[in-house]
Chain A
Amino acid sequence: MEFYPNQYSEHYSLMDFFSKEDRNIPAVKLYNYDYEALYAAMMDRLAQPMPDGSPSMFSSKSPNSAHSRFAEVSAFEQELLGREMNLMPYMVWVNVMRMYGTEVMPPDYPVITLTFERSEQARIAQIDAEIPFPVEVRSTRDPSLSAITLDEGVITGQEKFITLPARLNRMGIIGSIMPGEFSNAPPLPFVERVYNDGTIIFEGSEQETLKEAVLRTRRRIRRGDRNTTMRDYYEDILEKVGVKKATVLPGVHIGTKSTNNSLVTLVVYPGDTIKVIRPEVEARSHTTDQIDIQAAQIIPISGRIDVRVDAYVTPELGYDLAARAIMDNINPPNGKWGDRNFSLSLVTALERVEGIVATPFVSLVHAETKVPLSELEIYPWQLFSIQQSTQLNIIY
């Protein structure tokens, strides 16, 4: 690690993080004197009368005196010396991490999606278009930037295109990329066009900081090499590329109503990278556990929502406010898994917005089957998504 100008900056950021964990073991300050209280106590002590009852030579506590200056400087210098007892300089943290054998993670590549389109003739002739692994697609804006696919695929049947994850060839946080930028691909049989639609699965990461290394070491000590508890699985799956939201359902077998005690189901949103991360998760699972990774089942919801707004809110602004509240709190990847009180969550999210007063009428149905929400069976691997076709009325 290179030279850090402020040798305590990492200490402060780690202490700030630990203070937010209310169940963490509490740390007592080694030097816990308050220098102003110490000064007051010293002046009080000096002002005490002598043992024979005569008044003290220092009975005045005003700051004009020499003994006040002496006590003040003494208390303050003690503070300057002692306060560092409560701090751990950067090098101490580093040596603790060296003891655990922590390796600092290098920067990571960003991951985007690439779309491969099959030519129309091949589709009509029912010829499969195979995309080998790996394929490097260059950017038209920056020739040194390219995206390399992480998976192989094949376009079969009546499908027109396939979407594959691809990593960039540049480490670190992704810069700005435009949709359609990555289209300079080598010629592939029966593939007409390659482009990226702008989706970013993983923005990449810079060189790991000390705090991230500390937290990663802690996770490894808790988990070891295998995931055992449900929290281990949850933290592990959330670290995987392309996972924004996850839940762990022990014993649940999706699609059936039975339970299986040795099965752990992980439900992931979005499900684009399941095929890539499945071997990694299975390798780290506890020996007696079977792992099943599934994509979240998105239930499209529509219907009618009436929203009453303040007088100063125009209908367009009201629609924007409601739509943003829904996007930020309700639709995936936000929102709760298998929310049995979905109407209540929706209403709470809308009414929390400044400008929206109330939601007097809410009637939700399944967007495709038109079954009312109250009659739907709700499972913990489902996420609700309010669709554009919902009728949103602004009333005053």
Chain B
Amino acid sequence: MFICLRQRMYNSYLPYYGDPEPTVIFPDTLDFLGNSWAIIPASSRKYGINVVSGIHKMVADIISVALERRGHRPIHPSYGLAPLLFEPLSQIAPQAWIHELKTQIELWVEGIESVTINLVSDYDMDNSLQVQIIFVPKIAPDQNVLSFDYYSYQGADWDKGIEEFAAGIALNGEYLLPIAA
């Protein structure tokens, strides 16, 4: 009787058809993202247009979202960051911008499992503010850190200082600059 009861308890969790454990196929590469033409930087005389794939595509997607003003694209009106009404008075951690960027990244960037955004200030060095976007792709629990300077980003956003901003973008500690020649 007791054995029958245990059998029934075990059987109650089985699906009606098929294997007891479902099989899921996890991709082991980021090939499913395909190729994409990045916008920062878009092209160079030496290398032609900037076609990216894999992790670099995810980086390019994150930067594309971060630099777009919401409502400017006619077919995707909810793409991008809505402008803040007032410039944050505190110099550290503009929380609204962080929250909005995280939401937009989760919405538009493919292949992201999770993303965390930190702002690290460096008083000792040069009073800069580093944005650290820590994202985990879907294939493996690798943490990748994309970092750039927050004020350079603001310059690129407002005053079109794109080159200076692009020069400071780093992925896992390495600058992506060589592609912009």
Contacts and interface: CB of A to CB of B under 8 A. Distances in A.
B34 A63 contact: no
Chain A CB within 10 Å, residue with most, of B51, B65, B75: B75
Interface in A32-90: 35-36, 39, 47, 55-67, 69, 72-73, 75-76
Nearest to A63: B76
B15 to A, nearest CB: 34
A42 to B, nearest CB: 11
B64 interface: yes
B35 A59 contact: yes
A39 B34 contact: no
Given A57-B51, A72-B73, A67 B79 contact: no
Contacts of B37: 57-58, 65-67
B35 A64 contact: no
Contacts, number: 66
Given A62-B108, A62-B110, A39 B75 contact: yes
Given A62-B110, A66-B38, A75 B61 contact: no
Secondary structure dominating the interface of A: loop
Given A47-B34, A57-B51, A60-B33, A66 B39 contact: yes
Given A57-B51, A76-B75, A64 B61 contact: yes
Contact of B73 (A35, A59, A60, A63): A63
B171 interface: no
Contact of A72 (B38, B65, B76, B108): B76
B39 A72 contact: no
A35 B75 contact: yes
Contact of A59 (B34, B38, B42, B75): B34
B128 interface: no
Contact of A63 (B35, B49, B60, B79): B79
A57 B50 CA distance: 10
Interface in A267-289: none
Contacts of A55: 34-35
Given A62-B110, A64-B109, A56 B35 contact: yes
Contacts of B65: 64
Chain A CB within 10 Å, residue with most, of B34, B39, B61, B108: B34
Contacts of A36: 75
Contacts of B121: none
A60 B74 contact: no
15 contacts: A36-B75, A39-B75, A62-B61, A63-B76, A63-B79, A63-B108, A64-B60, A64-B61, A64-B65, A65-B37, A65-B64, A66-B37, A67-B37, A72-B74, A76-B75
Interface of B: 33-39, 42, 49, 51, 57, 60-61, 64-65, 73-76, 79, 108-110
